[in-house]
Structure 1
Amino acid sequence: MESAVKKTLMDMMPLLIKASLSLLTVLLVMSMLWKKRNSPPGPWPMPIVGNFFQLGDQMHISLTDMRHKYGDVFQIKLGLMPIVVVSGFETVKTVLLKEGEHFADRPNFYSFSLFSDGKSMTFSEKYGESWKIHKKIMKNALRTLSNESTNLSNCSCRLEEYVCAEASDLVQELIDMSAEEVAFDPSSLIVITVANVVCALSFGKRYDHQDKEFLTLIDLNNDLRKAFGGGLLADFIPILRFIPSPSLKALKKFLQSFQSFIAQCVKDHFASFEENTIRDITDALIQLCKERKSKDKSQQLSDEQIIATVNDIFGAGFDTITSALLWAIFYLLRYPEFQDKIHKEIEEKIGCSRAPRFNDRKDLHYTEAFINEVLRHSSFVPFGLPHCTTVDTKLNGYFIPKGTCVFTNLYQVNHDNTVWKDADMFMPERFLDENGQIIKSLTEKVLIFGMGVRKCVGEDVARNEIFVIMATMMQRLKLVKSTKHELDPIPVYGLTFKPKAYYLVAEIKH
């Protein structure tokens, strides 16, 4: 009996295997179809190029318009890469904050791998325990410098000393440039001011404005901006990375030169480092790593990671703050009535006996409201850096596979009429309550620095710097736009949005 059963089973085995394989195939196909059916909707892509041609010259506007048709979660293709685009404050908040760890990676963009040889915490380092340690050290280093005492009694910390000195020099440069009463483009002065702050922050060194090394550094930054402005199609169509490309060549040239500059600065700091004497962010990083090394070797950064961290801080502090200040001046010129209100507030709260300081942010409510409206209305970081899913996940009922690239449409959130009344209008007053106090719950909805696990660690530093430089200008100057040139609100595309060139004259306030 037993042998007969065994024989029957053996005879049936090929059939059972075939049936099992067939069932498994059916289940896999059904699973793929279900996932496909549960994928986000979106426009039909063209072969090879995907939806590039449907996005036009203003991708942030095109993707915002697509939201009306496809909803807060939809999918496009850029070249061969599927991209999930997320809009709407609550949905973006889910991606960045509520379920932030599910969306905390960076996509494997070719351009990102070039930053710091793939060791950049901002661009390329994978989300995980090592990344968390890296971020914590970076955050603590910024905090250390912000708390580091200064020899100047009228400054609260070393960082404030750096910012106030450059803000004062900027005002004098604007006055000197206006002496002949001929309108000029202030962008180079803004770039130099911000570059010197970030050099002092990163390396404890302030450059003369005509210093060759300093000017080379600024030129290299311009190369980077132009490279990104040209678009890096190699990120989305991999074969293009092997074809000669001016934008890719410019990017590689900038990164090689800039990273060599950073590496040499860090090397010099290691040689001259004195324990418990913090000159700048590089010293703070070295000190923190030495302290952690004595406790736990896994809680430190390699020399290469320190170089990458300084690189990240320099890049973020340069382009973001430059863009913010150029837009702030743009809106001051476009709406001179807001200048009058800021002038009045500064006269009442500070006067002329001393320069503005970080601590004045809590009292200059209208000035703070104006800056928040600049950040919201310009939305000069329209998508932030792309995210990538760390696991298979769901969003608004749609299946998002692990490894999917995600764009968060921060521009749409900053211009959403369900969040902001008359969103397309520039109105600083929207951030003030009936008593003229800042409405904090609204300022937190301005998405420029992101939120959640990948939020910019330097937001407080950036906001303090923007505030002091702008308030110092407004304390001493009235900015008047050129009558011969128009103010064009359509941005110039690059690593961040910047306004097109504008011209002004700076008048000394009496």
Structure 2
Amino acid sequence: MPWKVEAIRKNTARSDDLVTEQVHQHYDTFVPGNIRDVADAIIASDADDEENKDRYVLTRARLNLTLADLQGAGVDTTNKTLSWMFLYMAKFPQVQERVYTEINDKVGTARSVMLKDKPDLVYTNAVILEVMRIVTQIPFSLPHYAMKNAKLQGYDVDKDTVVIFNLFSVHHEKEFWKDPESFRPERFLSDGKSLDEEKCNHMFAFSHGRRRCVGEFLAKMNLFLSFSIVMQKCKIIKPVDEKLDLTPIPGLVYSSKPYKLLVQERN
């Protein structure tokens, strides 16, 4: 499909141009001691090494790649995960009410949910994990490369082999999850008061090992705060004539189909 390949090339080139433009602007307007964002922080890390020109070039290249990673891997995935979460809350109102009840009991309404509340909101965390598991919006990991001959679970992996981790398969393994196609957040609870460590360790939404997503902690923090604060303050309602389809749109990142919701402020 050459027309699709050409479209990807054009979009990639446009994205690269935008990032490069931002990098140039940051270097031109950088003021030591005035860190405006992550780009300035990277520039500042090498600001004292002006004599080493090679390092300066590498820093600029690293900045380009870092900003591209933040844009490509951090914004779209978080946005789509939240979209899935709100869709499931509208589809399963009983789950949504249980999340709200837990937040109301543990945090209340006098202040917004904070990161320090995360250990206390066990069911809320279970819901987040279950949405990420059942959707698995990134079904396959990025390609990995075998540096040497290896054996994995009885299978030979030859040197120079490209290996792709099937995340969807792990998250829908019937032998482990029993009913993987069912949306059941309770599966992540061990005794109703804590998360099941074994189940949590079987979740690879950010891949696994040393090459796992470097933004995992930031993504989990953003998802928890965004989701729990919305659940604390708002009620998500399915419109009467709206059909909420949970079938994903295939792609590099699985998206939900367009939908409409009613958002009611809680008293």
User: What is the TM-score normalised by the length of structure 1?
Assistant: 0.49
Does 1:481 pair with 2:238? Answer: yes
Q: In the superposition, relative to structure 1, how do residues 416 and 298 fare at CA in structure 2: closer, same or farther (>3 Å)?
A: same
Superimposed CA distance per residue, residues 472-503 of structure 1 (whole angstroms, 9 cap, x where no aligned partner): 21111111112223222221012201111222
Displacement, 1:434?
A: 1.5
Does 1:406 pair with 2:176? Answer: no
Q: Paired residue for 1:185?
A: none
Q: Which residue of the other structure, out of 34, 38, 43, is the alignment partner of 1:277?
A: 34
Q: Paired residue for 2:215?
A: 458
Counterpart AA for 1:329: F
Which whole-Å CA distance do the structure 2 matches of 1:445 and 1:279 have between them?
38
Which whole-Å CA distance do the structure 2 matches of 1:266 and 1:335 have between them?
44
Between 1:354-363 and 1:371-380, the stretch displaced more is: 354-363
Q: In the superposition, relative to structure 1, how do residues 334 and 414 fare at CA in structure 2: closer, same or farther (>3 Å)?
A: same
Superimposed CA distance per residue, residues 334-371 of structure 1 (whole angstroms, 9 cap, x where no aligned partner): 11001101111111122222122222212211111110
Q: Paired residue for 2:61?
A: 304
SS in 2 for 1:454: coil
Q: Superposition pairs for residues 84-483 of structure 1, below 5 Å?
A: 245-290=2-47, 301-483=58-240
> Is the contact made by 2:43 and 2:59 (CA closer than 8 Å) also made in structure 1?
no
Q: Paired residue for 1:7?
A: none
Counterpart AA for 1:277: N
> Is the contact made by 2:136 and 2:167 (CA closer than 8 Å) also made in structure 1?
yes
Counterpart AA for 1:342: V
Displacement, 1:383?
A: 0.8
Counterpart AA for 2:251: G
Counterpart AA for 1:318: V
SS in 1 for 2:58: coil
Does 1:492 pair with 2:214? Answer: no
Higher RCO (Cα < 8 Å, 6 or more apart): 1
Which whole-Å CA distance do the structure 2 matches of 1:390 and 1:331 have between them?
41
SS in 2 for 1:475: helix
> Is the contact made by 2:235 and 2:264 (CA closer than 8 Å) also made in structure 1?
yes
Which whole-Å CA distance do the structure 1 matches of 2:208 and 2:5 have between them?
30
Which whole-Å CA distance do the structure 1 matches of 2:51 and 2:173 have between them?
50
Which whole-Å CA distance do the structure 1 matches of 2:44 and 2:242 have between them?
51
Between 1:423-432 and 1:365-374, the stretch displaced more is: 423-432
Q: In the superposition, relative to structure 1, how do residues 497 and 426 fare at CA in structure 2: closer, same or farther (>3 Å)?
A: same
Report percent identity of matched pairs: 32
Q: In the superposition, relative to structure 1, how do residues 293 and 344 fare at CA in structure 2: closer, same or farther (>3 Å)?
A: farther
Alignment coverage as a number of residue pairs: 267
Which whole-Å CA distance do the structure 2 matches of 1:267 and 1:474 have between them?
40
Gaps of 5+ in 2: none
Which whole-Å CA distance do the structure 1 matches of 2:48 and 2:147 have between them?
32
> Is the contact made by 2:143 and 2:164 (CA closer than 8 Å) also made in structure 1?
yes
Displacement, 1:299?
A: 11
Displacement, 1:418?
A: 2.7
Q: In the superposition, relative to structure 1, how do residues 502 and 452 fare at CA in structure 2: closer, same or farther (>3 Å)?
A: same
Superimposed CA distance per residue, residues 173-209 of structure 1 (whole angstroms, 9 cap, x where no aligned partner): xxxxxxxxxxxxxxxxxxxxxxxxxxxxxxxxxxxxx
Which whole-Å CA distance do the structure 2 matches of 1:350 and 1:404 have between them?
50
Counterpart AA for 1:421: K
SS in 2 for 1:479: strand
Displacement, 1:292?
A: 7.3
Q: In the superposition, relative to structure 1, how do residues 401 and 485 fare at CA in structure 2: closer, same or farther (>3 Å)?
A: same
Which whole-Å CA distance do the structure 2 matches of 1:286 and 1:267 have between them?
11
Displacement, 1:504?
A: 1.1
Q: In the superposition, relative to structure 1, how do residues 398 and 348 fare at CA in structure 2: closer, same or farther (>3 Å)?
A: closer
Q: Paired residue for 2:266?
A: 509
Displacement, 1:294?
A: 8.0
Which whole-Å CA distance do the structure 2 matches of 1:339 and 1:292 have between them?
53
Q: Paired residue for 1:82?
A: none
> Is the contact made by 1:389 and 1:401 (CA closer than 8 Å) also made in structure 2?
yes
> Is the contact made by 1:293 and 1:300 (CA closer than 8 Å) also made in structure 2?
no
> Is the contact made by 1:485 and 1:502 (CA closer than 8 Å) also made in structure 2?
yes
- RMSD of aligned alpha carbons: 2.3
The structure number with the bigger radius of gyration is 1
Superimposed CA distance per residue, residues 299-318 of structure 1 (whole angstroms, 9 cap, x where no aligned partner): 98341231122111111111
SS in 2 for 1:394: strand
Which whole-Å CA distance do the structure 2 matches of 1:276 and 1:441 have between them?
45
User: What is the TM-score normalised by the length of structure 2?
Assistant: 0.91
Q: In the superposition, relative to structure 1, how do residues 276 and 420 fare at CA in structure 2: closer, same or farther (>3 Å)?
A: farther
